[in-house]
Amino acid sequence: MRSFRFTHAITRKPAKSILQGLRAVDTGNPDLARMQSHHADYVTVLRETGAAVIELDPLEAFPDSVFVEDTALCLPEGAIIMRPGAPSRLGEAAEMEPHLRALYQDVRRIDGPESFIEGGDILVTETEILVGRSARTNAGGVAELIRKVADWPLAVREVHTPPGVLHFKTDCSLLDGETILSTKRLHASGCFNGYRVIHTAEGEEASANAIRFNDLVLMASGFDRTRDALLNAGFDVREIGNSECAKLDGGMSCLSLRFTPKAA
């Protein structure tokens, strides 16, 4: 179960500069202390599964650097350093690279200069790598990713991120080897044919960005009907406060890289 059993995670503590973090709609500034407390809860739950969690120091120069998922794609075969499409986030990828080189033998890089791709647009299942083009991920980025993983076992399939949605995974998550949590609007695009799909409840679309991490499903708190659907389906759910990251369009997946490296 390579798609949800992991020995490691990397997180980065929120920086004070988070107040300058990117957001599609301004709903007010995040409260740093509250975000730090939610972040600590998140790391505690990851550790509860027995995984080693590496907590990196805040990077003040990069307001969105708490959202480490966008900087790399980590597979059992190796890691690929992304090229974030948001100019203010481009440098975050280079900051992550040495930490992955310390754990992986095979680290590759999306070279650019015209290719952009962020980890939030990539959903890895047991059998394939789904990538949605978005405002942050372009055709060049998808094409480079396809070339970079060509000698690894999982193929890339291009899918569509719904208009106005930040990342493909803003609207979906992997729950187990064959089950996806998805908003109805994303599922309607047909991209999950062959998978079992559980829908987020009406009005709870923001709960779609969850993560399956070993035996647990981590989801943002405050979405009771979707939580109950996951509990009824037999998942062991942990709810984490996400009010502050949500102001910056961030959720559960954005806050970690999750992987089982081949030793360096």
Q: How far is the CB of 93 from ligand CIR (least distance, A)?
A: 12
Exposure of 72 in the CB half-sphere (CA atoms within 13 A):
32
Is position 161 an interface residue for ligand CIR (rule: CB under 6 A)?
A: no
Interface residues for ligand CIR in 96-125 (CB under 6 A)? 119-120
Which lies closer to ligand CIR via its Cβ, residue 135 or residue 233?
Answer: 135
Interface residues for ligand CIR in 162-191 (CB under 6 A)? 166-167, 170
Which lies closer to ligand CIR via its Cβ, residue 142 or residue 248?
Answer: 248
Alpha-carbon distance 143 to 181, whole Å?
26
Q: Contact region for ligand CIR (CB under 6 A) — 27-35, 63-71, 99-107, 232-240? A: 63-71
Catalytic residue status for 167: yes
Catalytic residue status for 172: no
Q: What's the angle, vertex CA 209, arms to CA 206 and CA 212, rounded to 5?
A: 145
Phi, psi of 256 (to 5 degrees): -155, 155
Alpha-carbon distance 165 to 249, whole Å?
9
Is position 92 an interface residue for ligand CIR (rule: CB under 6 A)?
A: no
Query: Within a 10 A sphere around the Cβ of 196, how many other Cβ atoms?
Result: 12
Which lies closer to ligand CIR via its Cβ, residue 27 or residue 105?
Answer: 27
Which lies closer to ligand CIR via its Cβ, residue 179 or residue 209?
Answer: 209
Is position 70 an interface residue for ligand CIR (rule: CB under 6 A)?
A: yes
Which lies closer to ligand CIR via its Cβ, residue 56 or residue 86?
Answer: 86
Q: How far is the CB of 198 from ligand CIR (least distance, A)?
A: 20
Render the burial of 2-30: b for 16+ CB within 10 Å, e for the rest. bbbebebbbbbbbbebbeebebeeeeeeb
Burial class (CB in 10 A: 0-12, 13-18, 19+), 252: buried
Q: Contact region for ligand CIR (CB under 6 A) — 16-24, 27-35, 50-58, 176-184? A: 16-24
Is position 134 an interface residue for ligand CIR (rule: CB under 6 A)?
A: no
SS3 12: strand
Among residues 22, 32, 90, 246, the one that binds ligand CIR under rule CB under 6 A: 22
Alpha-carbon distance 185 to 172, whole Å?
10
DSSP letter string over 69-80? GGGEEE-SS-EE
Query: Within a 10 A sphere around the Cβ of 149, how many other Cβ atoms?
Result: 19
Mark residues 201-240: x for contact with ligand CIR by CB under 6 A, - for none: ----------------------------------------
**Given 39, 167, 187, 199, which residue is catalytic?**
167
For 78, the token pair is 């190796």
Residue positions annotated with a catalytic role: 167, 254
Question: Which residues form the interface with ligand CIR (CB under 6 A)?
Answer: 21-23, 64, 67, 69-70, 86, 89, 119-120, 166-167, 170, 248-250, 253-254
